[in-house]
Amino acid sequence: MILNEKDARYAANVFIDYFQNFGRIDDYLRKVKLERMSKYPTSLPGIGPQDDMFDDFTMHPNDMEFECREVSTEIFVNYLEIVTSHAVEVSVPGKSIKWVVYEKNTNKIVGFIRLGSPTINSLPRNEFLGKPLDTLNANVMKRFNDSCIMGFIIVPTQPFGYNYLGGKLLAAICCSHLTSDTLNAKYGGPFCMFETTSLYGSTKSSSQYDGMKPFLRYKGNTQSDFAPLINDDNFHRLNDWFKDRNHKKPLIDPMASSRKLKTQTKMISIIRNSLKSNHNEYNRFISACNGAKDLTERKRQYMSDYGYDNVKEYFNLETNTLNKKDNYDRYSFDGVVEWWRNKASRRYDTLQSDGRLRHDLEVWNTNENIDIIR
């Protein structure tokens, strides 16, 4: 698809005008978040979704019990939107588990987990396996699809996350046999690899996934060579505009994974190819895209083997049998919660002793001044 010069300049300017406003990734995320929250319905005092969030910060970790409740997309997104600093994607193709995690004694929400189909290409995974996935080998891809899951959302409510290492609790649950058993029951399995990435790369020196051995281990940094997504209004308007010029057909298969990112990448490719004869406009557009790419970062990738010791050989089709490690039972739900409880108790006791416990809920529908990077 090639656009005429007038159309190519119009589409290019949508990207240029949008991305020239940002110097750092947190500037970009804040603008996107505030635009999303401007459309969030207003709730009456005492009956808003924030009232379901955990808020008893006198409670010690030793007194807490947890359960994961699978909920509809509507409920999940409605709660998550007021907690996370990131834009929430509603429709995600492929496998999907959406859990709201509750503290059982208070019946209050402490966090959110969304699991889904992993990305096909991953540099840290390739290095772990010793080679990239052979996407043309049906047996290799079947084993990968049957056995690997990715954590896309692992978000604690705040200040539960700060006071109690809530992010580590949620990540540990993702590495537990509760998660692998749930996936096996729903999709067949056996699931033996869990992956996730840090929210931020060089912007933040640490991640909630650090210090989680043996359950979760750092495997390397991802590669990042794409611009962040333009905001919803611009994207939908430009997507419809491209459809009109593509015989009313979408640029990307509606069932494709990461559809929005792939659609934007296709838009950029079409604009770039359409501007090649106009060197000034071409260079202006490429400069804007390269500047936008600088907003994204290589993220730290972490992996769990659910307590098996031959996951690499299993994925490489060298064996059809998974072998349990000696510490396999530590990956039980009770086992990972107990591991968290020991860490969280030390954290909570220190904060309480120092007078640094936080008590105010951090939710975007009542406070627009929350730190993006927490």
Q: Which helix (H) or strand (E) holds 73?
A: helix 73-81
| pLDDT of 101 strictly over 70 | yes
Residue 66 is classified by DSSP as: E
CA angle 318, 322, 325 (to 5 degrees): 125
- Spacing of C-alpha 4 from chain mean position: 37
Per residue in 222-235, pLDDT tens? Answer: 876 667 788 778 88
Amino acid at 373: I
Q: Are residues 48 and 37 in contact, defined by beta-carbon separation less than 8 angstroms?
A: no
Residue 155's pLDDT is 95
**Confidence bin at 242 (pLDDT 50/70/90):** very high
Cα–Cα–Cα angle for 90, 96, 100, rounded to 5 degrees: 75
Report residue 170's pLDDT band, with 50, 70 and 90 as the boundaries. very high
What pLDDT does residue 335 have? 97
pLDDT in tens, 193-205: 999 998 765 555 5
pLDDT band at 297 (very low <50, low <70, confident <90, very high): low
**Residue 112: what pLDDT?**
97
Q: What is the pLDDT of residues 309-319, one digit of tens each?
A: 999 999 999 99
The more confident residue out of 303 and 90 is 303
Q: From the CB of residue 326, how many other CB atoms can be counted at a distance below 10 Å?
A: 8
At 226 the pLDDT is 67
Q: Note the pLDDT of residue 255.
A: 77
CB atoms within 10 A of CB 62: 10
How far is Cα 171 from Cα 167, in angstroms, rounded to an integer? Answer: 6
Residue 354 has pLDDT above 70, yes or no: yes
What integer is the mean pLDDT of 75-90?
Answer: 83
**pLDDT tens-digit map of 107-134:** 999 999 999 999 888 899 999 999 999 9
Indicate the pLDDT class of residue 374, thresholds 50, 70 and 90. low
Q: Which amino acid is at 174?
A: C
pLDDT value at 67 more than 90:
yes
Question: Is a pLDDT exceeding 80 seen at residue 370?
Answer: no
Percentage, residues of the chain above pLDDT 90:
65
Q: Give me the count of residues in the chain.
A: 374
Q: Which domains does the chain carry?
A: 5-26+227-293 (no CATH), 40-224+297-354 (3.40.630.30)
- Residues of the chain with pLDDT > 70, as a percent, come to 90
Q: Looking at residue 202, what is its pLDDT?
A: 52
Which of 52, 311, 263, 128 lies closest to 271, judged by CA? 263
What DSSP string runs through 120-143?
Answer: S--HHHHHHHTS---TT-HHHHHH
Residue 158 confidence class, pLDDT cut points 50, 70, 90: very high
Neighbouring C-beta atoms of residue 338, cutoff 10 Å: 12
Across all residues in the chain, what is the average pLDDT?
89
Query: Which three-class secondary structure state does DSSP give residue 45?
Result: coil
Distances (CA, A) of 266 to 19, 168, 233, 238, 284: 17, 37, 18, 12, 18
Average pLDDT on 65-72 reads 96
Tell whether the model's pLDDT for residue 323 goes beyond 80.
yes
Q: Which two tokens stand for residue 322?
A: 């998974």
Question: Residue 298 is which amino acid?
Answer: R
Which of 339, 305, 356 lies closest to 172 in space, CA to CA? 339
Residue with tokens 């020991």: 342
Residue 261 has pLDDT above 70, yes or no: yes
Instruction: Band the pLDDT of 251: cuts 50, 70, 90.
Output: very high
Residue 45 has pLDDT above 80, yes or no: no
User: What does the pLDDT read at residue 87?
Assistant: 67
User: Which band of pLDDT confidence, cut at 50, 70 and 90, is reported for residue 40?
Assistant: confident
| pLDDT in the model for residue 182 | 97
Per-residue pLDDT band for 221 (boundaries 50, 70, 90) equals confident
pTM comes to 0.80
| Banded model confidence at residue 41, pLDDT cuts 50, 70, 90 | confident
Q: Of the ranges 40-44, 203-207, 223-227, 276-280, which one carries the lowest mean pLDDT score?
A: 203-207
Per the model's pLDDT, the better-predicted residue between 214 and 257 turns out to be 214
- Predicted pLDDT of residue 296: 65
